[in-house]
Structure 1
Amino acid sequence: MSSKSWYALKSKAVHTRYGLTKNIQVLLQGLESFHAGIIDARELGSMVRLSPRRRESVAATIAKCARMINKDPQESKTCVDIIEMCTEILEIADRPPPIEGFPFMRLPAEIREYIVDLMVDTVFKSKGIKPSSRKVSCNCPQLEREFGSFHTPQMKALPSILGPALNHEFFRIFFRKKAVRFRCCCELLYHLDSNPLLVQNVRDIKVHWCGPKSARTFKKLAECDKLEGLTISISKSTLANLSPRADLMKQFFPLSYRHVRITDILGLDEILTIRGLKEVSVTHLQTRSTNLTAETDRANLSEMLAHQLKKEKGYGPLDEF
Structure 2
Amino acid sequence: MPLKSFYTLKTKAVPARYGLNKNIQDLLIALDDHHNGSIDAEEIGRLVRLSPKRRAAIANTITKCANIIKNQPNEIPTCVDVIEMCTELLEIADRKSPVDGFPFFRLPMEIRERIFALMINNVFRTKSVLPASNRPGPCKCPRFDRDNTFQTTQMKDLKRIFGPNLITLEFYRVFFRTKTFRFRCPCELRSHLTNNNILFDNVRKIVVQWSGPEAAKTFQLLKSVPKLKSLGIVISRLTYIHLNERSALMKSYFPLAYKNTRLGDVLGLDELLEIRGLNQVEVMIAHSSRGGTQSNEMDRANLLDLLSSRLTQPKEYDNDVEL
The alignment's TM-score, normalised by the length of structure 2, stands at: 0.76
Q: Which residue of 1 aligns with 2:197?
A: 196
Counterpart residue number, 1:304: 306
Per-residue deviation, 1:113 = 0.5
Counterparts of 1:241-252 in structure 2, within 5 Å, are 241-252=242-253
Structure-2 change in CA distance of 1:252 and 1:211 (3 Å): same
Partner deviation per Cα, 1:15-55 (whole Å, 9 max, x = no partner): 75684559778866765776798754333345557696896
Q: Quick one: structure 1 residues 61 and 201, their matched pair in 2 at CA, closer, same or farther if it must change by over 3 Å?
A: closer
Tell whether 2:267 aligns with 1:271.
no
Displacement of 1:287 in angstroms is 4.3
Counterpart of 2:2 in structure 1 is 7
Residue 65 to residue 28, structure 1, CA distance change in 2 (3 Å): farther
C-alpha deviations, 1:130-176, integer Å up to 9, x for none?
1245733311112x343857543334443543332133322222222
Give the letter for the 1:98 counterpart. Answer: S
SS at match of 1:7: coil
Query: Hey, what's the Cα distance between the residues in 1 that align with 2:264 and 2:322?
Result: 21
Between stretches 51-60 and 63-72, larger displacement belongs to 51-60
> Which structure has the larger Rg over C-alpha atoms?
1
Deviation, 1:85, is: 3.8
Cα deviation per residue 1:295-316 (whole Å; 9 max; x = unaligned)?
A: 4333332222122112122111
Give the partner amino acid of 1:299.
A
Unaligned segments of structure 2, at least 5 residues: none
Q: Is the Cα–Cα contact under 8 Å of residues 131 and 149 in structure 2 kept in the other structure?
A: no
Separation in 1, partners of 2:127, 2:58: 60
Distance, in Å, in 1 between the alignment partners of 2:270 and 2:32 is 78
Q: Displacement of 1:183 after TM fit?
A: 0.4
CA pair 107-258 structure 1, distance change in 2 beyond 3 A: same
Q: Does the 8 Å contact 2:209/2:233 carry over to 1?
A: yes
Counterpart Cα distance in 2 of 1:102 and 1:174:
22
Please give the alpha-carbon distance, in whole angstroms, between the structure 1 residues aligned to 2:141 and 2:29: 76
Q: Is the 8 A contact 1:159 1:167 kept in 2?
A: no
How high is the TM-score relative to the length of structure 1?
0.77
* Structure 1 partner of 2:162: 162
Residue identity matched to 2:116: V
- 3-state SS in 2 of match to 1:67: helix
Percent of residue pairs bearing the same amino acid type: 44
What is the match of residue 209 of structure 1?
210
Aligned mates of 2:184, 2:26 — CA distance in 1? 69
Deviation sequence 1:192-219 (CA, Å, 0-9, x none): 1122232233222111111221111111
Instruction: Check whether the contact 1:168–1:197 (CA below 8 A) recurs between aligned residues.
Output: no
Residues 1-321 of structure 1: pairs in structure 2 closer than 5 A: 7-8=2-3, 19=14, 40-46=40-46, 56=57, 59-60=60-61, 63-64=64-65, 66-68=67-69, 70-72=71-73, 76=76, 79-80=79-80, 82-93=82-93, 95=94, 98=97, 101-133=101-133, 135-142=136-143, 144-146=144-146, 148=148, 150-164=150-164, 165-254=166-255, 256-287=257-288, 290=293, 292=295, 294-319=296-321
In structure 2, how many angstroms separate the alpha carbons of the residues matched to 1:28 and 1:127? Answer: 54
RMSD over equivalenced CA pairs, Å: 3.8
Shift in Å at residue 244 of structure 1? 2.7
Separation in structure 2 between the aligned mates of residue 86 and residue 215 of structure 1, nearest angstrom: 76
Query: What is the rounded CA distance, in whole Å, between the counterparts of 1:170 and 1:56 in structure 2?
Result: 46
> CA shift at 1:84, angstroms?
3.7
Closer/same/farther in 2, CA of residues 102 and 140 from structure 1, 3 Å limit: same
Equivalent residue letter for 2:293: T
Instruction: Say if 1:275 and 1:308, in contact at 8 Å, map to a contact too.
Output: yes
Question: Is the CA contact (8 Å cut-off) linking 1:228 and 1:277 kept in structure 2?
Answer: yes
Aligned length: 310
AA aligned opposite 1:130: L
**Once structures 1 and 2 are overlaid, which stretch shifts more, 31-40 or 294-303?**
31-40
Q: Secondary structure at the match of 1:207?
A: strand
CA 1:274–1:57: 2 relative to 1, 3 Å: closer
- Following the alignment from structure 2 to structure 1, what is the Cα–Cα distance between the partners of residues 201 and 90? 55
Q: Describe the superposition over 1:59-91 as per-residue Cα deviations: whole angstroms up to 9, x where unpaired.
A: 44653465345544x775665455344333334
